[in-house]
Amino acid sequence: MEKPGILAEFVPGSTLQSCIFLYLGFMKKGLQLLSLLALSTLLCGCPPETYKNTNPLKELRANHYHFKKVSRAYAAGIHFLLPDALKNSFKQDIAYHDNSFMRSSPELGIYFSVDAFDDNETGTILESYAAGTDSLQAVHDFFMSTRLKTLSESDIDVSVTSRLSGKTDGLFSTVQEKIEYTYGEPMTFQIATIRHKQAFYVFQFICSNQLAAYLYIDFHRILQSAH
């Protein structure tokens, strides 16, 4: 199965591995820089003039750091309610597929993606698991393992996987960086896998640890709206 971007298999000791790790380091620091800038604007009383009048910041503050305006979005056979602040597409390699649904808010330092796994991909993933493994669990574990390969295991906390509440058939996990980097705030990766008809969808919501404490609810609202 193709594993593009940051989710590619690494060959120990190879020049390719060195190049990939160097690229990942720069990419992570870039995300953290954007998050630090967003937090400095959100959490201080006098935001820089450049960002004072941007809608995402004003609306988030006015609604007690939760998204107020949402619109219906469509991705690979599924639709859901997405905050209007997440309207910019981007090409960062945070997702699994080249054609993944990706949106971001540069002002807030938030990155969102949806990956769809069809029957063929799910069948290939299941080949690596014990017979009888639930397909939902296998896809979720597979995506989590590929995500963890991009992070230092000594510097992260991984939550216990839990079932989503409500009517949505899905699993939820978080990966949280523990240390503060020179170039920015630690990041939280909220990852959920849901089952819809014959396909599985992996949702990612990435932002700073401080914002994640507020926006956890908003991410779950996105998941509950998926149909």
- Domain ranges, residue 84: 5-224
Count of other CB atoms within 10 angstroms of residue 50: 10
Using left for φ > 0, alpha for ψ between -120 and 50, and beta otherwise, residue 143 falls in alpha
Instruction: Give pLDDT, residue 180.
Output: 64
**Percent over 90 (pLDDT), the chain:** 44
Report the mean per-residue pLDDT for the chain.
Answer: 78
Q: What share of the chain is helix, strand, coil (3-state, %, to 5)?
A: 35, 25, 35
Give burial (CB, 10 Å; 0-12/13-18/19+) of 126.
middle
Three-class SS state of 144 = helix
**Unique residue bearing structure tokens 């959490």:** 43
Mean pLDDT for the stretch of residues 82-94: 82
Instruction: For helices 15-43 and 209-224, give the axis angle rounded to 10 degrees.
Output: 90
Which CATH number fits the domain that encloses residue 177? 3.40.1000.10
Question: How confident is residue 91, by pLDDT bands cut at 50, 70 and 90?
Answer: low
Question: How confident is residue 154, by pLDDT bands cut at 50, 70 and 90?
Answer: low
Strands (E), the chain: 70-75, 78-83, 101-105, 110-117, 156-158, 162-163, 170-177, 187-196, 199-208
Domains: count for the chain: 1
Q: Pick the residue with more confidence: 192 or 92?
A: 192
